[in-house]
């Protein structure tokens, strides 16, 4: 039997649970699928878009997305 030490037990691996679990605590995430692939929103392609707070990096990131929008 394997033992785990954690601050939080998260049951369900949908996007919201995955984001909450990764908020800085040590966690064990229990789910029937892979991390981030369960839950109602997972099939909809929910994603995280992180843009650094520097103005030049932000402008470059927005410009790259504008090309994807057509």
Q: What is the pLDDT of residues 42-61, one digit of tens each?
A: 555 555 677 878 999 888 88
Q: What angle do CA 25, 5, 12 make, to 5 degrees?
A: 65
Q: What number of CA atoms fall less than 13 Å from residue 20's CA on the CB side?
A: 13
In terms of pLDDT, which residue wins out, 62 or 33? 62
In terms of pLDDT, which residue wins out, 54 or 21? 54
pTM: 0.42
What is the pLDDT averaged over residues 37-43?
59
Q: If you average pLDDT over every residue of the chain, what do you get?
A: 74
What are 55's two structure tokens? Answer: 């103005």
In terms of pLDDT, which residue wins out, 41 or 69? 69
Burial 9-31 (b: 16+ CB within 10 A, else e): ebebbbbebbeebeeeeebebeb
> How many Cβ atoms are within 10 Å of 39's Cβ, its own excluded?
18
């Amino acid at each position: 039997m394997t033992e785990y030490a954690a601050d939080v037990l998260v049951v369900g691996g949908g996007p919201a649970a995955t984001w909450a679990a990764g908020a800085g605590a040590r966690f064990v995430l229990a789910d029937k699928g892979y991390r981030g692939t369960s839950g109602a929103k997972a099939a909809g392609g929910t994603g995280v878009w992180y843009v650094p707070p520097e103005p030049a990096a932000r402008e470059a990131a927005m410009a790259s997305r504008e090309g994807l929008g057509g």
